[in-house]
Structures are given as C-alpha cells and as structure tokens.
Amino acid sequence: MADDRKSWRSRRWFTAEDLRAFGHRSRAKQAGWDEDDWESRPIVGIINTWSDINPCHVHFRARAESVKHGILQAGGMPVELPAVSLAETFVKPTTMLYRNFLAMETEELIRKHPVDGVVLMGGCDKTGPALVMGAVSAGVPAIFFPSGPMIHGTWRGARLGSGSDTWKYWAEKRAGTITDADWAEIEGGIARSFGHCMTMGTASTMTSALDAMGLILTGGSSILAPDSAHVRLAKATGRRAVGLIEEGVAIGDILTPAAIRNGVRAVLALGGSTNAVVHMIALGRRAGYDLTLAEFDALSRDVPVLANIRPTGSTYLMEDFFEAGGLRGLLSRIEDLLEDAPTVGGLTLKAGLEGAHVQSDDVIRPRDNPVVADSSLAVLTGNLAPNGAVIKPGAMDQRFRKHTGPAVVFDDYDHMERRIDDPDLAVTADSVLVLRNAGPVGGPGMPEWGMLPIPKKLLQQGVRDMLRLSDARMSGTSYGACVLHIAPESAVGGPLALVEEGDMISIDVAARTLTLEVNEEVLATRRAAWTAPPPHYGRGYGWLAAKHITQADAGCDFDFLETGFGPKVPEPAIH
Ligand code: FES
C-alpha cells in the first residue's frame, strides 16, 4: 500500500522538500487542510456541472456533498472542481458547440490539479460524453455520477414527456387544435422536478450507455433524480472513487473496445437518441477505438429495441423504466449479446446483472415481442451522403422506409422559418424537406434542427410526418422520418449544398441508401459554381471550433484532441 501511495499524482504536489511543495502545503493549510488530508489519503476531484442555469443539475450541489461523504467514508480527500454546466435548454446556439469545450476543460482540470482520480457529475445531454472524453484523455481513475431522470410530466391526467410532448403539442397548437391556455398549462406541467429529461432523449441514452460501458455503478443511471436511492448512489460513487484509486484502475482499463460495443448495444436496445452515434464515435476515438458508422449499423441489425420508452416506444417514460427494472433489467434481456467487461464497481458487467429482474413485460419487452425487431438506427449512404447519414426507422411513419419525392430546399434555418408556413409554398405530404448549413461548421455546432417543422397548411390537413433531410442533429426526444448528420455537411461543400428545388430524392432504408436523382454531370456543374458560406466567427472559441471540428461521421471532436493527433501530453512538472 505504501508504495502505491507514493505513485499517486497528488504526492508530487505535497511530498517534495522544495519551495513549490512548501507553497502547496502552506496554501492547503490556508484552506483548512492539515497533513492528514494529504499524507495518507488519495485526493479525489469531483468535477461538478452544477449551475443555477441548469435545471437538470440543480440538485448537484446537494449530491456533491453526498459524494464527498462517500469519499471521506472510504478514506479519501474530496476536492470539488466546478465545470461549465452546458444546460441544454439555455445554451445558444447549441450545447453541441461546447461539448468539446467541456471535454477540454475536464482534461485540463484533471491534469493541472493534484487529484488522484475523479468523480464526473453530469447527465444533461452533452455533459456525459464531454466529461468522459476529457477524463479518458487525462487517463486517471474516474467514475461517473449521473444526474438521474426527472419524474414524469402531467397535464389533465395525461403523462407528458420532455421534448416529445413539446413538439407534439406545438404542432397541435400550430394546427389550431389546442388553445393558448392549454399551451400555458402544459408549460407548467411538463418539467416537475430536477433531473434530466425523462424520455429516451440524449441524456437518458448517454447515461445508460455510460452505465453499460461500466463507468457508472451498474444500474445507477436509471435511478430517478429525486429518489432517496439517488443520494445513496452518490455516497457509493464517492466510496468507489477511492477504491479505484487504491486499486490503480484507470478509466482506460474500463473503457475498452468491448465496453464501447456494449454501450452501442445498450443504445440500440433502448431505441436511443441518434445523438449517441456522434458521441459514441467521439468517445471511441478518444479511447483509441475507431468505432465507425458501419459498425453501428451492423450492431443495429442484431439488437432489437426492447425498451418501450418514448419517443421510439409509444407509451412509457424513465420513471416506468426504473420501476420495471431499469437498465439492469434491460441488459439482462440481451445478456447473450453483450461482451463481459470490467466496471467501476469491481464486478464485471455480467456479474453485476445477477439477480436483475423485469417487473413489466410491456415496459421492458421480452425478445420475442420487441418494440422494433431490428435497425432502430440505420446508417444511409449514397451520392447525397458519401460519408453517411443516420435515421431512426423505429420512430417514424413506416411509409417513408422507401420513398421518392421532390425536394423543398431551405438554405439555412432563417430561410426555413421565413418559408415554412407560407401558404404559397409548393409542398405536399410527399415532398422532401431539405435543410442545409446546419452541420458542425455551418450551424454552427450542428444544432438540433433536424426535425424540421411540418408546413402549417399540411398540419391542418392532418399530416404529422414527412421525409426531412439535413446535416443537423435532432433532439433524442424528437421523432419522425428525419435523415440526420449528412456527411460531409453542406458548409464544407458536401453534396447537400448542390440540391435544388424540385430535385427528386430517394430513400430506401432496407437498402441503406439515400440518393439525389441528379446525374453526376449536372452535379459537377453545380459543384463548380458553389461557394462556401461566410464563417460565423472571426475570433474566439467559435473560430477555433470551425477550424478544428471533425464531421459527424468522425464524432465532431476537435482534430487536435483526438488520441491519434500527437504524442501523449506529459504530466505537469513538479515545479
Ligand atoms: Fe437537460 Fe434534456 S434539458 S437533459
């Protein structure tokens, strides 16, 4: 044990007999520490994405105290390190622009401070992947503490789901079937507690994926934020953080290729958010594993959707999922498809599933009665998406699995807003709505604009789904026949930039194709005449992002943050 302790990072700050270490010790004493706090204890960083402006994380102030409680119980010394909160509902233009910002912040918070390991506190959409991306690059022991789903929303006896019911009732309001007063009541009932969105949006998807990858105490991602079990999870997470440090288990020992594939399988069995495709690829590449869109698609053919949770499922929310057995229950039903892998809890993933049970076969379906039999996420390619695009066939009108229609083209979001409800817009239910300049560079930040609104005149005719194409993402709580993440994006000259009004576009989900029915000669002429849109930023972080962000098929990380970009960053020198 004594030798292990000598290798802890924090020792380099505190145990040397030189001027710098004197400064560290004297200033630690200024904060009320004494020798006992650093001589025999590992120092555990708690990277906390709490903020008053992040309603999904407002309980993190209290939960951080519970994490500290657990760290102290196990003989560690907690140090809380605040990080940017990335509130999905407030950050403009989109939190995705700042995912890499939080990833960089996490990596550098760890590297520059005397911490031997970390607890990562996140949940709201981008925070999960960002914290883990940073921790992977820093390479220390790490355990994730998820914010947990909020309780279900309610309106006049109906259950409301985050996001999904916002889009649903917004369409009804535009169609004139609900009143302004109804809409105001929904506003007050759709988000009733702290915690992340309780549909199978990006937060539920990614925290479940991190759980299946072994980075959360197994099953912890399903615990509702206000449940007392969530407080106990916080304490247990703190205790295990100390255990991981003492056992010398780094995050890279957990985040293996098998673990990443298990994360993908969990996403698929959950009918999870399309955003997971981008995040899982980025995480994989940070961990040195080149997860590709093709591998995602291949895995999707084997894994059925068993979680009947909206928006892929028709009825239930995360509260029902938790009560039905949660992620452990779900994974127990696909155990034969999983690879065994270590977890932060000390048991392997499969050992952690022992004793799991399912309380409701309607919420967590058996294999012979899936919500979607296969391909909950499909990867399309073709002359319109040479590097790929994704669609969620389980959460759309099934007639769009094979469809051809004329394009209605919007050059950017403002152009779409100006035209979409124009009574003279030449559009029918068979048209294909195309939005461009909404990708990683063009958005900027690849906003969640991919669920383009249905034109008002079609809504009034009862149309509720159309084929829609973009280089944007869409919220995990969204649904519909939306082809997303088209790569390369239009702003860097991808073929989406060449589509003209009235061009015929074909999709065939079974064949995995997306085709612009225009011959190559005509496209070459259009390509020669194309000019790139002006940049959004002339300086600052946005400028940096536009220079270095990769395309959706590569995970939208910054090229210089990927593991393969350059040599390992050295630990800080002792001075
Ligand atoms: Fe935070 Fe949905 S807004 S998870």
What are the tens digits of pLDDT across the range 170-191?
A: 989 988 999 999 999 999 999 9
Residue 1: pLDDT above 50?
Answer: no
Does the predicted TM-score (pTM) go above 0.85? Answer: yes
d(CA 203, CA 317): 13
Region 149-156: what's the mean pLDDT? 97
pLDDT digit string (tens) for 329-348?
999 999 999 999 999 999 99
- Burial state string for 429-449 with b = 16 or more CB within 10 A and e = fewer than 16: bebbbbbbbbbbbbbbbbbbb
Substitution site in 50, 197, 275 for ligand 1 pocket (most atoms within 8 Å of beta carbon)? 197
Q: Is the CB of 203 under 6 A from ligand 1?
A: yes
**Which atom of ligand 1 lies closest to the CA of 475?**
2
- Indicate the residue type of 195: G
Q: Is 57 in the pocket of ligand 1 (CB under 6 A)?
A: no
Integer distance in angstroms from the first to the last C-alpha of the chain? 26
- Alpha carbon of 53 to ligand 1 centroid (Å): 12
In whole angstroms, give the CA distance from residue 336 to residue 333: 8
Residue 566 has a pLDDT of: 87
List, for residues 303-315, the tens digit of each pLDDT value.
999 999 998 888 8
Cα-to-centroid distance, 41 and ligand 1 (Å): 36
How far away, in angstroms, is 475 Cα from ligand 1 center?
A: 10
- Name, in order, each residue with C-beta under 8 angstroms of 320's C-beta and a sequence gap of 6 or more: 152, 309, 360, 363
DSSP state of 468: E
CA of 23 to the centre of ligand 1 (A): 42
- Report the share of the chain in percent with pLDDT over 90: 91
CA of 69 to the centre of ligand 1 (A): 27
Greater confidence (540 vs 394) lies with 540
The response to whether residue 196 sits with its C-beta less than 6 Å from ligand 1 reads yes
Q: Which ligand 1 atom minimizes the distance to the CA of 163? A: 2
Q: Locate 237 and state its tokens.
A: 């997470």
Residue 374 has pLDDT above 80, yes or no: no
pLDDT band at 5 (very low <50, low <70, confident <90, very high): low
In this prediction, residue 417 has a pLDDT band, given cuts at 50, 70 and 90, of very high
Quote the mean pLDDT of the chain: 95
Of 271, 132, 264, 273, nearest to 196 (Cα)?
Answer: 273
* Residue of 54, 56, 152 to test ligand 1 pocket, by largest number of atoms within 8 Å of CB: 56
What's the angle, vertex CA 252, arms to CA 74 and CA 487, rounded to 5?
A: 130
Closest residue by Cα to atom 1, ligand 1, is 124
Return the structure tokens found at 393: 């066939």
Q: What are phi and psi of 468, to 5 degrees?
A: -130, 140
Q: How confident is the model at residue 4 (pLDDT cuts 50, 70, 90)?
A: low
- Whether ligand 1 lies within 6 angstroms of the CB of 91 is answered as no
